Amino acid sequence: MTRMNIQPKILRNSRTFSAACVSFVALLAVSAWPTVAAPATASKADARQTKTLQLPMRTDGPKTLDPAQGSTQYENIAISQIYETLLTFSYADPQKLEPLLLDGLPERSPDGLELTFKLKKGVKFHDADCFPGGKGRELITDDVFYSLKRLADKEYQFKNWWLLEGAIQGLDDFKTQQNADGKKFDYDAPVAGLIKINDHEFKILLTRPVFRFQYILTMFQTSIVPREAIEKYGKDFVYKAVGTGPFVLDRWQPKQSLTLVRNPNYHECRYPSREAWNEEDRRRRLHRPAGERVPFVDRMEFTMYNQEQPMWLQFQAGRLGYTEVPAEYFEEAFDKRTRELKPEIARRGVTAHKDVLLDFIFQGFNMEDSVLGGLAPERKALRQAIHLATDLDEINEAFYNGINAVFDGPIPVALDGHPEGGRTPMSYRGPDLQRARAKLVEAGWPEGRNARTGEQLVIRYYTSNSMLNQQQSEMLKRQIERLGVRFEPVLVDFSTLIEFCDNKKAPMFGFAWGSDYPDAENNLALFYSPNKSPGSNHYNYERAEYDALYEQILTMEPGPERTAVYERMRDMIIEDCPYVGSMGRTRFYLMSPWILNCRPTERMWTWLKYLDVDDSKR
């Protein structure tokens, strides 16, 4: 699961900034853009200098460095540099699966129920004091089984159990047995579907031929961890990190910064071959280090940015390798009509890349809330009314320069089940105030007041705390309060927002979901009732018919029949209205002249190990 904060645009008429402040920022922007330095002649001393890569991380960053307890994009970014999964997606072709800790892709039996794996030999955990003599040992089969079993341990609140539930033979029974009252969790207890052949070979037996299972093994929550570290550090493991990844934890200051250093014992991993890159990527010279061993940099330094302006100015000053382009600065860097980088910026050596996200931006309802939740007709009518009052097109224009895709349902653009043209016949997309007010009458809240008591409806809306989100919340407030409803935004840190959602304390909430893999099943899983909070179903949506269809699609191969079921599930969700939405973003990135091999993608975060720096161009 990849939960993301939403960073919208500051309204141009915002009272938060004075005209003088805006002018000052603009002056800084004009004067601060990095330029290409003349190539320097490298000396032997220069060659020995430490290569340091500085990168931004939006919001307050990760809350944990433990894969079993992570769920947000920011935890994904951090954990993917330190820990590794069995499989990943190719940097050159993000749709293509490739081995990471494996010596080749797993072998699949004809019936799809048996997968055979071979671990790559010579992979070692980071040196740490949890190992004898402080030296990291080799990764073995037992580590894989231990790491998967952790998701079944109530110690970790089953936060990511939804990934494995019902998938592996015997694992659900193991979970039930080991979490019985008064029983100590026994990681050595056997699981029928986890079969060890030797230290480097094993089989996993599935309960059914689940199409997505190999995708699950790319997700950072299934990263492999050493048992010794968990047992030594205990609850402090969330702040520790002992993996097999390309980088080792140096220092983490929560909500401020994260510093990693190159793993000197990293197993052999090479930059994608020339042939792996398409013609456009080769034209951008992304193939140049083809076949070279990675990682290239010695240090990776992340800085957390709750606000957009400091990140933008740091990039302009040449202190960050890349930056996402905040929407309020889009026209400073790009021509709004063509969406091409402005020539004067390109001449300074700055390059651009756009990444179409598998994105689902929403304002969700807690379906267990005493007022907003439930599937009774009057409860559905209330949520539909709020949806009909919301103007997503206005939000898109004001906060995203009109770039977002606005669509019905939870399935992002380009995936099976996405509605043609973005609309469905049962759409509740606003603004349609006449219909919204009629729905309020159906709901028993005419003009936003309880038909029996006259009490005004109050909606508390939780989102992450930033000046930008404050502005977007104010627009939502204006739109929804046209119905006579009182709308109260509550802004908290992103990590606190997720805590509120995990604990079902937010009646209405807003953030974004980035698909973990290119299949709409990943988005439809957000509404499967066994995935309720603290799992991925933060809406706490529960409908037996929907659950049955979800279980059906898990074993269906891609094709028209599966797509038809996707569409049926999509329309069911639209009608029940557990959220307001949705929109999908195209992320625009700018890259400094001194960062090499950079083609940002949010499909996975293992690609950061391929980056390099040229300090002569700083």
Full set of structural domains in the chain with CATH: 84-233 (3.40.190.10), 359-584 (3.10.105.10)
SS3 258: strand
**pLDDT by residue (tens digit) across 213-241?**
999 999 999 999 999 999 999 999 988 89
Q: In 3D, which of 199, 238, 299, 226 has the Cα closest to residue 615?
A: 299
Q: Tell whether omega for the bond before 264 is within 30 degrees of 0, i.e. cis.
A: no
Instruction: Provide the pLDDT for residue 128.
Output: 97
What was the pLDDT predicted at 355? Answer: 86
Cβ-Cβ contacts under 8 Å for 540 (sequence gap 6 or more): 366, 367, 368, 373, 504, 532, 533
Give the per-residue pLDDT at 11.
Answer: 31
| Rounded (5°) CA angle 204-155-504 | 105
Tokens of 585: 């973003």
Identify the H or E element spanning 467: helix 467-480
**Tell me, what's the pLDDT at 5?**
58
Residue 293 DSSP code: B
Average pLDDT across the chain, whole number: 90
Cis omega before residue 534 (within 30°)? yes
Mean pLDDT across the stretch 358-371? 93
* Residue range 441-451: mean pLDDT, rounded: 96
Count CA within 13 A, CB hemisphere, residue 503. 8
User: Would you place residue 588 in the very low, low, confident or very high pLDDT band (cuts 50, 70, 90)?
Assistant: very high
CA–CA gap between residue 463 and residue 580 (Å, rounded) = 14
Q: Is the confidence at residue 319, as pLDDT, over 80?
A: yes
For position 32, what pLDDT does the model report? 57
Q: Is the per-residue pLDDT at 25 higher than 60? A: no
Residue 44 pLDDT > 80, yes or no?
A: no
Residue 48's pLDDT is 54
Tell me the pTM: 0.79
Query: Position of tokens 């003088």?
Result: 20
Q: What is the pLDDT of residue 517?
A: 84
pLDDT for 71 beyond 90: no
Neighbours of 500 (CB within 10 A): 18
> E strands along 343-469, which residues?
351-356, 359-365, 405-406, 458-464
Rounded to whole angstroms, what are the CA distances from 56 to 60, 499, 515? 11, 23, 21
Average pLDDT on 311-322 reads 96
Express as a percent the part of the chain with pLDDT over 70. 92
In the prediction, which pLDDT does 39 show? 39
Q: How confident is the model at residue 4 (pLDDT cuts 50, 70, 90)?
A: low
301 bridge partner residues = 54, 259
For residue 207, what pLDDT is reported? 96
Where does the pLDDT of residue 45 fall: very low under 50, low under 70, confident under 90, or very high at 90 and above?
very low
Closest CA to 5 of 238, 365, 308: 308
Name residue, tokens 């601060």. Answer: 32
pLDDT digits (tens, 9 = 90+) for 494-535: 888 989 999 999 999 998 888 888 899 999 999 999 999 988
C-alpha span between 37 and 52 (Å, rounded): 18
Average the pLDDT over 81-106 and give the result.
Answer: 96
* Confidence class for position 295, pLDDT limits 50, 70, 90: very high
Mean pLDDT of 478-504: 93
What confidence category does residue 183 fall into, taking pLDDT thresholds of 50, 70 and 90?
confident
Q: What pairing do the DSSP bridges indicate for beta strands 579-584 and 359-365?
A: antiparallel
pLDDT tens-digit series, residues 417-436 = 999 999 999 899 999 999 99
Decide if 6 contacts 463 (C-beta within 8 A). Answer: yes
* 20 has pLDDT over 70: no
* Token pair belonging to 550: 């979800």
**Average pLDDT of span 542-568:** 94
pLDDT for 481: 97
**Is the pLDDT assigned to residue 465 strictly greater than 90?**
no
Looking only at Cα atoms, what is the longest distance across the chain? Answer: 83
pLDDT over 90 for what percent of the chain? 76
Instruction: Give residue 172's pLDDT.
Output: 97
pLDDT at 573 over 80: yes
The kind and range of the H/E element at 33 are: none
**Span 534-541, average pLDDT:** 92
DSSP 8-state class, residue 395: H
- Give the dihedral of Cα atoms 161, 164, 169, 170; nearest 10 deg: -10
What is the model's pLDDT at position 467? 73
| CA–CA distance, 416 with 136 (Å, rounded to integer) | 44
* Nearest one of 10, 64, 55, 149 to 466, comparing CA atoms: 10
CB 356 within 8 A of CB 413: yes
pLDDT category at 190 given cuts 50, 70, 90 is very high
- pLDDT of residue 375 exceeding 50, the answer is yes
Q: Which residue(s) pair with 248 in the sheet? A: 261
User: Which residue from 451, 430, 455 is spatially nearest to 440, judged by alpha carbons?
Assistant: 451
* Mean pLDDT, range 434-457, rounded to an integer: 96
pLDDT at 490 over 70: yes
**The pLDDT value given to residue 6:** 54
* Residue 101 reports pLDDT greater than 90: yes
pLDDT for the residue numbered 402: 87
